[in-house]
Amino acid sequence: MTFADLLDAVRALGVDALAGFDRDALIAAGVDPARVRALAGVHEVYFGPTRFRAQQRLGVEAARAGGHSLDKLVLIERYMANIDDAAARWRVRRELLSVRGSHAALRRAAQQAAPAPERPAGPDRVRVSRTRGGKRSLTVVGSQRRMADLEHALMGRAPGVGPAGEEMYDALWELLDPAGDADAGAGAGAGGVAAAVPRPLLLIPLASWVRIMRGEGDDTVLGLSDATTMTGAEFLNQVVATGAFELEAALFHPQEGAVNLYRTARFANQKQRDLARAVTPVCPVPGCRHGAEACEIHHIQTWKHGGETNLANLVPVCRYHNRINDDDQPVTGRSNGRGRIDTAHGRPTWVSPRGYPAKNPHHAHFGAMEQLFGTDPPPG
Ligand SMILES: [Zn+2]
């Protein structure tokens, strides 16, 4: 078959090609199932049983007279889904069948005649994305009035010489952090956004500590308990050099575990929470992106089932996964189908309803035990 043959075949493919439509035969011929579904819909409209027999007959004639390709007929049906009433659908369909010209021209006419209904905006909310390329995005949904006010305030602070979006970004931080020291890493001035609240814990394996202090660890990536990272160089410049960065560093010894908390003047309770965050810097449920800072401290063996408030029994779990955690399964033997946090090889780990442990691939490798002993279970 040559290209000219292909062109002839495409031109010849109109509404009549669907008269003897056979779904299974198309699937067997290797046609994309989504395409088969679309063609089945077109077949149903022009050849299927209907109350609108006269409209159907006129529709087939119009499709034939317009020489409409199957692609165009599929396009029309995609927009017909936006119209609830069957009679109105036939009216608009025949209107579109009278449109001559390209696929794009037909699409424009369809957008006019059968626009997609506006999707409900949902509640006012703020959403923070995962880290991608070292950055996160913040989405704020609210009333158009408030958003317009915010945009107006940001544009008022933008110098108006560069790209508006980038200038508004700087203006936003100026608004949130009037003292202007967010970039310096310190807690912000009055009314501003502190660089990190509550203070994240910086996890430093002993070997990395030694390398960084020797000045050889610039590229070493350290994990923080708010699910962000910083390099050894940033650590030296922001934490050690200035002493201003309100960051607490926890150092771990390979055998002894937690060696020390820097600048520590905390109650045992707070220390337990800090160390639990160090061992598990992210909610342990696979796929969850909540850093330990945003988590609740969960008793692995629950308090009501006799669990103790000691370090081995404490793990940070995000609010949602704490709520659905299957607390009762170890006692009742019945699963709620949502899985639970348990201890595997000395590390808090999510266990599926069928009993299979699974790690959270997101950030969990920065956990203190993983950093010190690797990701495999320790020998013995
Ligand atoms: Zn979670």
Q: What is the pLDDT of residue 249?
A: 57
Q: Which pLDDT does position 263 carry in this prediction?
A: 32
Task: For residue 339, report the distance from its CA to the centre of ligand 1, in Å.
Answer: 12
Question: Over the range 278-299, which residues count as b (16 or more CB within 10 Å of their CB) and which as e?
Answer: bbbbbbbbeebbbbbbbbebbb
Q: Give the distance (Å) from ligand 1 centre to CA of residue 271.
A: 22
Distance 136 CA to ligand 1 centre (A): 18
- Separation of 316 CA from ligand 1 center, angstroms? 9
| Cα(195)–Cα(354) distance, integer angstroms | 41
| Cα-to-centroid distance, 279 and ligand 1 (Å) | 15
CA distances from 216 to 46, 203, 223, 237 (A): 73, 18, 18, 14
pLDDT value of position 379: 46
User: From CA 349, how far away is CA 300, in angstroms rounded?
Assistant: 10
| Residue 149, amino acid | D
How close is the Cα of 321 to the center of ligand 1, in Å?
5
Low-confidence ranges of the chain (pLDDT < 70): 178-200, 205-207, 209-210, 212-217, 236-272, 309-311, 345-346, 363-365, 368-380
> Which tens digits make up the pLDDT trace of 52-68?
999 999 999 999 999 99
pTM tops 0.75, yes or no: no
State the pLDDT at residue 347: 74
Q: Return the pLDDT at 160.
A: 86
pLDDT value, residue 314: 80
Instruction: Give the per-residue SS3 of 284-313.
Output: CCCCCCCEHHHCEEEECCCHHHCCCCCHHH
The pLDDT, as a whole number, for residue 240 is 57
State the distance from the centre of ligand 1 to the C-alpha of 157, rounded, in angstroms.
38
Please tell me the distance between residue 341's alpha carbon and the centre of ligand 1 in angstroms.
11
Share of the chain above pLDDT 70, in %: 75
Check residue 24 and give its pLDDT: 94
pLDDT of residue 237: 66
Residue/partner pairs of 16-19 with CB below 8 Å, 24 or more apart: 16/64, 17/70, 18/42, 18/43, 18/46, 18/47, 18/70, 19/47
Compute the distance from residue 363 Cα to the ligand 1 centre, in Å: 12
Instruction: Output the pLDDT for position 120.
Output: 85
> Which pLDDT does position 252 carry in this prediction?
55
User: Residues near 258 by Cβ (< 8 Å), separated by ≥ 6?
Assistant: 250, 251, 252, 275, 278, 368
